[in-house]
Amino acid sequence: MSNPTELYVAINKLSFCLHDEEGNEVLNKDGTIKEYYLTYKASKGLDWFVEGLEPSDLEGFTGDNE
């Protein structure tokens, strides 16, 4: 990647989980939390989610290569 003069925030991966009234998540057979993703129809219009966010508002994941 070339050195950009300005960076913008975008959504890369967004997942959801389901839980009951007591906060117990729906689990996969192996005991991990079952993740769900938005359908294309539901994901349209998420631009508002990142409006006003700056790169300085983000924190990298532990272990990411820089």
Please indicate, yes or no, whether the overall pTM of this predicted structure exceeds 0.75: no
pLDDT tens across 11-53, in order?
Answer: 888 888 999 999 999 999 999 999 988 776 766 677 777 788 8
For tokens 């050195």, the residue is: 3
Give domain limits for the chain.
15-42
- C-alpha 32/C-alpha 26 separation (Å) is 9
